[in-house]
């Protein structure tokens, strides 16, 4: 069993006094999880949505401040129309349920990405979650929908150019993630070893953690392994320390 202790972490242990403020996750492997069980891909996405709910709650409970997940990329529109519709429907259902608990639990939720082409009902729910989030502090979950790192950087550069000189600061201020710290830890379940156009600007010095575990099977124990590995690393940021 994974234990959480307030001391120097050893194998399989997490120091709760040195948690990353911001964790990012590429939620990969839903389709393969379903196929291995002879189920439609939609069942994998539904299972993945429940995993996100559990992991977000767990992050909030142990003291992580921000969780950003990759739910639907700009490239995912290439998938079969029925699968795309299913993913967006699941997101709509999740946001409806989340709105009911955001006020009660004082949870913030933001959607990063180009929402202009999303279904009107989904856009209305996103606007509602933004309004609720402005009233509270504390834990914040960010869901990347119709998101691509390259398009985010291009958009930020255009906005920075319109307002004046393009600098690192002005560009960062025009990212969808403006105002929150860059992730210290990025986790990719599913056995793939790439960023897939996710948080390309923000992940410049992020620690990367890859695991074969498919996203629907990803548990708080798996998250603990990733955090423990992060805490064992020496983050130098280009220095020689």
> Cα 148 vs. chain centroid, distance in angstroms?
13
Q: For residue 173, what are its two tokens?
A: 């201020």
Phi, psi of 141 (to 5 degrees): -100, 130
Break the chain into its structural domains and give their ranges. Answer: 20-148+184-230
Which one of 15, 76, 197, 217 is the catalytic residue?
76
- pLDDT score, position 11: 44
In the CATH hierarchy, which fold is given to the domain comprising 20-148+184-230? Undecaprenyl pyrophosphate synthetase (3.40.1180)
- pLDDT score, position 240: 57
- pLDDT score, position 174: 97
Answer yes or no: are the C-beta atoms of 9 and 231 closer than 8 Å.
yes
Encode pLDDT of 168-227 as tens digits: 999 999 999 999 999 999 999 999 999 999 999 999 999 999 999 999 999 999 999 999
CA–CA dist 29, 52 (Å, integer): 13
Phi, psi of 54 (to 5 degrees): -65, -45
What is the secondary structure of 17-71 as a DSSP string? GG--SEEEEE---HHHHHHHTT--HHHHHHHHHHHHHHHHHHHHHHT--EEEEEE
- pLDDT score, position 9: 44
- pLDDT score, position 3: 46
This prediction has a pTM of: 0.91
Answer yes or no: are the C-beta atoms of 142 and 175 closer than 8 Å.
no
Q: Is 182 a catalytic residue?
A: no
Q: Is 76 a catalytic residue?
A: yes
Residue linked to tokens 């939620």? 27
CA distances to 65, 133, 237 from 130, in Å: 17, 5, 33
Encode pLDDT of 15-26 as tens digits: 999 999 999 999
- pLDDT score, position 100: 79
Residue 215's nearest CA partner among 181, 189, 182, 176 is: 189
Which one of 28, 30, 146, 174 is the catalytic residue?
28
- pLDDT score, position 77: 94
Q: Long-range contacts for 78-83 (Cβ within 8 Å, ≥24 apart)?
A: 82/42, 83/41, 83/42, 83/45
Plot region of 119 (φ>0 → left; ψ -120 to 50 → alpha; else → beta):
beta
Residue 191's nearest CA partner among 21, 62, 31, 12 is: 31
Plot region of 143 (φ>0 → left; ψ -120 to 50 → alpha; else → beta):
beta
Phi, psi of 123 (to 5 degrees): -60, -40
Where do runs of H (alpha helix) occur along 77-193? Answer: 81-105, 120-133, 149-163, 168-172
- The pLDDT profile of the chain, 241 residues, written as one tens digit per residue, is 444 444 444 445 899 999 999 999 999 999 999 999 999 999 999 999 999 999 999 999 999 999 999 999 999 999 999 999 999 999 998 898 888 788 777 889 999 999 999 999 999 999 999 999 988 888 999 999 999 999 999 999 999 999 888 999 999 999 999 999 999 999 999 999 999 999 999 999 999 999 999 999 999 999 999 999 999 998 776 665 5
Q: For residue 193, what are its two tokens?
A: 């070893």
């Amino acid at each position: 069993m994974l234990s959480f202790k307030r001391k120097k972490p050893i194998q399989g242990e997490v120091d709760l006094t040195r948690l990353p403020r911001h964790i990012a996750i590429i939620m990969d492997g839903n389709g393969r999880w379903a196929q291995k069980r002879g189920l439609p891909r939609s069942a994998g996405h539904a299972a993945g949505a429940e995993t996100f709910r559990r992991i977000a709650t767990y992050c909030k409970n142990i003291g992580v401040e921000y969780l950003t997940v990759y739910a639907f990329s700009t490239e995912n529109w290439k998938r079969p129309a029925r699968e795309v519709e299913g993913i967006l429907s699941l997101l709509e259902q999740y946001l409806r349920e989340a709105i009911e608990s955001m006020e009660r639990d004082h949870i913030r939720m933001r959607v990063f990405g180009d929402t202009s082409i999303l279904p009107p009902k989904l856009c209305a729910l996103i606007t509602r979650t933004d309004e609720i989030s402005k009233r509270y502090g504390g834990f914040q979950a960010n869901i990347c929908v119709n998101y691509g790192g390259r398009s985010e950087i291009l958009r930020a550069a255009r906005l920075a150019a319109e307002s004046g000189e393009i600098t690192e600061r002005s560009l960062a201020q025009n990212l969808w993630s403006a105002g929150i710290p860059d992730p210290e830890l990025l986790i990719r379940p599913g056995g793939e070893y790439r960023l897939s156009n996710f948080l390309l600007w923000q992940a410049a010095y992020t620690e990367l953690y890859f695991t074969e575990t498919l996203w629907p099977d990803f548990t708080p124990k798996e998250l603990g392994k990733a955090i423990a590995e992060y805490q064992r690393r020496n983050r130098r940021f280009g220095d020689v320390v």
